[in-house]
Amino acid sequence: MRVAGRLLSAVAVTGLVAGCLAAAAPGARAATSAPTGVRAPWAEVANAVSGADLWSRTSVTKRPMGSITKVMTAYVVIETGGLGRVVTVPAGITAYDKKFDASTAGLVPGEKLTALQLLYAMLLPSGCDAAYALAAAYGPGLGKFIARMNATAAKLGLSKTHFTDFSGLPNPGAYTTYSTARDLVSLGRDAMRLALFRQVVATRSYRVAAGAGHRAHTWLNRNLLLTSYSGAIGIKPGFTAAAGQCLLFEARRGAVTLIGVVLHSSSSVNDPNATIRDATAMLNWGFSR
């Protein structure tokens, strides 16, 4: 190759070509950049509409995800329908919650609530008692419901996701319920296509007045991103000792909606803000592109 009548060396040609390519593709630098300060070892952020992966880190490694599992539980229930049906809270919730020191919605065996009310009880305060009640009713039976969760995962193409519990608790083991960051982003996109699911996970608090068959309840959303990040619209945090602090999240600014997940942002049960810091860094980076 000759420029201005002089023969260029192979090194010079290579540099010139690289420079031309860079000039022709102004987005190339942005495409190779990454959010800074993200501590989660397993993470991904994507365009919520197209599903295009904007940035990821070890996103196809199987990991426990704690109560993010309840997104699938809600998906199965909503897709089945009949949300006005009255469900009697089973006696089994007491031993289940006690065995795993699980988060609860304060339900009492024998209370009667609609399936819709139980969805709020499950997704806002991350009530494992509500997840138990829904699984028992919609299986019918716990085992059948878990089978339905796995069948739905296969149907949705979540090839590296498996459930042995409807709450995400270590039942029977710490790693027997698992997914990947990429599968969870895909599941989140499917769930957020359901209008009712979007409504529930965007709700900051929900109150059920005392009525025939049940006490009064007020449930607060444990997704701290809703109150700390402008544009946040969902979806679900989770924690177990093995999973660490996890968060599946979505936010919208203008015409752009981003969805992402962080797994094990912190190992401490007392540090839920670790996921908020990671999610904020990923979202800020994504929206700035």
**Residues annotated as part of the active site:** 67, 70, 126
Residue 66 is given by DSSP the state G
d(CA 101, CA 34): 38
Which spans in the chain are helix H? 10-24, 28-32, 69-80, 93-100, 115-123, 128-138, 142-155, 181-192, 195-201, 225-228, 273-288
d(CA 50, CA 213): 45
Reading the block at residue 2, the tokens are: 């000759």
- Best CA proximity match to 174, nearest among 62, 40, 56: 62
